Amino acid sequence: MTPKLNASDGAEVVTLGAGCFWCTEAVFQQLPGVLSVTSGYMGGHVPKPSYEQICGGETGHAEVTQIVFDPKQTTLVQLLDAFWKMHDPTTLNRQGNDVGTQYRSAIFYHSQTQRTAAEEAKRNAQSQFARPIVTEITKATEFYPAEHYHQDYYRQNKNRNPYCHIVITPKLKKMGLEYLC
């Protein structure tokens, strides 16, 4: 399900997978021009999957963030620059201790223009990495928002969940974004 966009405002949507969606959501929420970020699932074959099904690795879905942005304030290329920096796009089906196809690096494009921009951004980003980038660039399919407790995860759990301090906070710090010590 793609978010309803008001065509008159010119907002765009892109869906990105870069490991755990708690981490990527926390980064994208703070970037200028980002209007909303929704954690969810895309790229699999099971309708309306649950988090438990995704964790089993059998649905084919990736954990993703669907980002609605104002192209007058930021561009897809700028969002992809952050995407390359926030995770390791050279590891196949893995980000840190998170292992499985659900943690794959993926750009799900919503238009041919986005596909072209993503392919060019991937070629340009390769010079930043010693190993080949394995990020898949795939046409967006059905988006399934994750369960409510996954939404806005860092803001709601930064003082309660050690994962926030061990994994998310250092990522925010690396990106030069607001975080809690």
Catalytic residue among 20, 23, 55, 181: 20
Residues shown for the chain: 181
Q: What is the per-residue DSSP string for 1-50?
A: -PPP--GGGT-EEEEEEES-HHHHHHHHTTSTTEEEEEEEEES-SSSS--
20 catalytic? Reply is: yes
d(CA 39, CA 145): 6
- Asked if residues 113 and 121 have their Cβ atoms less than 8 Å apart, the reply is no
Tracing tokens 């990020």 back to the chain, one arrives at: 135
Beta bridge partners of 144: 41
Helix (H, G, I), strand (E, B) or coil at 111: coil
d(CA 67, CA 65): 6
Which residue numbers are catalytic?
20
